[in-house]
Amino acid sequence: MMNVLVLGSGGREHAFCKALAPSPHLGALYCAPGNAGIAADAALLDIDPMDFEAVIKACRSHRIDLVVVGPEAPLCEGIVDVLAKEGIRAFGPTAAAAQLEGSKRFTKDLCARYGIPTAAYRSFADEASALAYLDTVRVPIVIKADGLAAGKGVTIAETPESARSAVREVFAGRFGAAGASLVIEEYLEGEEASLFALVDGETVIPFGTAQDHKRVGDGDTGPNTGGMGAYSPAPVLDEAMSRRAMTEIVEPTARAMALEGRPFRGFLYAGLMITAAGPQLIEYNVRFGDPEAQVVLPRLQSDLLAHLLAACNGALAGETVLWHTDVALTVVLAANGYPGPYAQGTRIGGLENASKSPHTTIYHAGTARDRDGRIIAIGGRVLDVTAVGATVSQAQAAAYAAVAKIDWIGGFFRRDIGWRAVGREV
């Protein structure tokens, strides 16, 4: 039996905890720092995942056998390396391998060296050069802060003026250290989807597909967010297209990273654009997506903990991942104002009633309990209401039926999650 510590406090980490709980290999389950919902599934530790010394002490005191790292920031800062030096096993990439997410320039340069399909690009370390380059290209064009920006560092500029404004915002410090440099890349026409893979340094196995809704408003309008909803599997990534993405993009990336002396272990999340010419890489994340985890993991039939251990041990060859055939769909409830400034501390009611909805799970993201024990919102994205069904439309109907039972005047949600897939069912 193994004691497991999940690091993080969002919906993704809640999904990890619920998926790990049934494992016959699991002893005690902890989450640091967790949230009000995770508290029902794991023992919470009041620890910041970026406080590596505190994490090490917790692992010692609670006899942790495996640390599962949810967010990207501690991965890019090297928590897996630090834990390994202390003899503590952790699931996730080293800091060197996490550069696939930590630096968009690194990933684009890697793709260029190894012929991995992606959009044409140029990278810049100063505003003047970037602005001069914009005079030579057509819009739409994509402006990306090079580093980690919590999913908000990308601008699709439809006009030359908006492109120039996006460049100036990056270099003016809107995204902090993430904007010390930027990448300008070709706009790809097609349909976006996410492909997940489990990697042990050599072996790569597919681990589900999803489509999310990044824009804040209905009809895919407004600014980008960390994600307002998702569904799995992604219809556009059928078996043939998924195979192409694996053989043309994900597997070559794993081989390239090994050749570069940065073997990748963990979840590799490929954001793809399915174009007329086939799949193209938009960007990599080096951890599971959020809210994609909340729709992929509920469909997992086999033992998540066993799969994570196999990846840690370099033993994925021959590993079989089993899936339920149902579709899963999640609706994100966010605090008013998100992705800009938002209020905190607003009370949320009706969760017990909503949780009783058939085929539905509520994952907590930005929640806590106040002094009276009531659930309050403390984040931008606050709840993920996930439902499963035989079709996307069935899962969608079940999810929104549960959302309707939640009483929260301080939040909002998109009302069209899954619209593209539902349209395919007609």
The answer, yes or no, to whether residue 426 has pLDDT greater than 90, is no
Domain 327-425, CATH: 3.90.600.10
* For range 51-70, the mean pLDDT: 98
| Rounded Cα distance, 297 and 106, in Å | 29
Q: Which of 153-167, 198-212, 281-295, 384-398 has the lowest mean pLDDT?
A: 153-167
| Rounded Cα distance, 410 and 335, in Å | 6
Q: What is the rounded end-to-end Cα distance, in angstroms, of the chain?
A: 48
Residue 147: the pLDDT is: 83
| Rounded Cα distance, 63 and 229, in Å | 36
Domain 126-180 class, CATH top level: alpha beta
Domain 191-312 class, CATH top level: alpha beta
* For range 97-102, the mean pLDDT: 95
Q: Is the N-terminal amide bond of 140 cis, ω within 30° of 0?
A: yes
Residue 417: the pLDDT is: 97
Residue 157: the pLDDT is: 87
* Higher per-residue pLDDT: 150 or 317: 317
Instruction: Indicate the helix (H) or strand (E) that contains 157.
Output: strand 154-157
Helix axes 104-114, 251-259, angle to 10 degrees: 100
| Confidence class for position 46, pLDDT limits 50, 70, 90 | very high
254-299, pLDDT tens digit by residue?
999 999 999 999 999 999 999 999 999 999 999 999 999 999 999 9
* For range 15-24, the mean pLDDT: 98
Computed over every residue of the chain, the mean pLDDT equals 95
The answer, yes or no, to whether residue 173 has pLDDT greater than 90, is no
Is the pTM higher than 0.75? The answer reads yes
Please state the domain extents for the chain: 2-94, 126-180, 191-312, 327-425
Residue 186's φ and ψ, nearest 5 degrees, are -60, 140
Most distant CA atoms of the chain, gap in Å: 61
Domain 2-94, CATH: 3.40.50.20
* For range 375-389, the mean pLDDT: 97
Report the DSSP beta bridge partners of residue 154: 144
The answer, yes or no, to whether residue 151 has pLDDT greater than 70, is no
Residue 313: the pLDDT is: 95
189-233, pLDDT tens digit by residue?
999 999 999 999 999 999 999 999 999 999 999 988 999 999 999
> Which residue's entry shows tokens 């209020």?
343
